Amino acid sequence: MGRIAGVTAAETRERLLLAAADAFAARGYDGTRVADIAAAAGVSNGALYAHFGSKAELLVAALRTHGQRLLADMLAAHPDRSATEVLLATGRQLSRARESRGYLIVEALVAARRDEDVARPMRDYVGEHADWIADLVRVGQDDRELDTDLSPRALAHFCLLLAMGSALVPPSLHEVDEDEWAALLARFAAALAPSDTTAPREPVD
C-alpha cells in the first residue's frame, strides 16, 4: 500500500493521525506498532514515514490533533469570558469522563518517562500549554482578577498538574459530585483574587 489514489497528502496525514490516536488510546504506546497504524490508515509503512519521522513524533502529533484541548476550546468558544471564568469553566470539566482519545496525554506522559524520543517533543507540548495558561493568568492580573503577587508560571504549573492528574484519575476510578467540585474550584479562585476585590463569579456552562 502506498498513498491512496485520489487522497491528498493532507488527507493522508489526517488519516494517520486519527488511526494513531485510536491505536495509542486503545493499546498504549509500547503496545502499538507503526505497521498497525499504517494498516488502519490504509497506507504503507513508507507512506507513514514520509509524514512522520518516528512513532514518537506520531504520538505527540496525534495528541496535539486529537487529544483533549479543554483550555483552547474554551477560549475559542467563549472569547468574551474573563480569565478567571475561563480557568474555572475549564476546571469544572476536569471531573467529567472523556472520550478515549482524551486520555492520550496519559500514554504520552508515561512514554516520555522511558523514551527520550517522546520526552523531547512532549517538553515542547507541555511548555506550550504552560505558556497559554501563564498568559491567561497575566491577563487576569492586568484586569485585577488575580493577585499580581502570584507567579504566572507557578500557577500554570499547578493547573497543568490538575489537568493531567484528572486524566490519571478518571470518574471510573473515583467520582466526585460536579457541584461539590465546582464549589471547591470557586473557593480556590477566590483565594487567588487580590485581597481588595470580591470573589469572581462562578461561570455558567
Domains of the chain and CATH, by start: 9-65 (1.10.10.60), 68-192 (1.10.357)
CB atoms within 10 A of CB 62: 26
Q: How confident is the model at residue 61 (pLDDT cuts 50, 70, 90)?
A: very high
**The pLDDT of residue 4:** 56
**The pLDDT of residue 203:** 47
Average pLDDT, the chain: 90
**The pLDDT of residue 5:** 55
Residue the block writes with cell 471510573: 172
What's the average model confidence in pLDDT over 130-148? 96
**The pLDDT of residue 176:** 96
The sign of the CA dihedral 56, 62, 68, 70 is: positive
**The pLDDT of residue 204:** 43
Residues 6+ apart with CB under 8 A from 79: none
Question: Is the Cβ–Cβ distance between 141 and 148 less than 8 Å?
Answer: yes
pTM check: above 0.95 = no
Of residues 74 and 162, more confidence is placed in: 162
For residue 46, the Cα-to-chain-centroid distance in whole angstroms is 29
Nearest Cα neighbor of 106 from 121, 122, 117 is: 122
Question: Is the Cβ–Cβ distance between 186 and 203 less than 8 Å?
Answer: no
Residue the block writes with cell 494513531: 20
Segment 96-115, tens digit of pLDDT: 998 888 899 999 999 999 99
Q: Is the pLDDT of residue 64 over 50?
A: yes
Q: Is the pLDDT of residue 22 over 60?
A: yes
Residue 160 CA to residue 129 CA, distance in Å, equals: 8
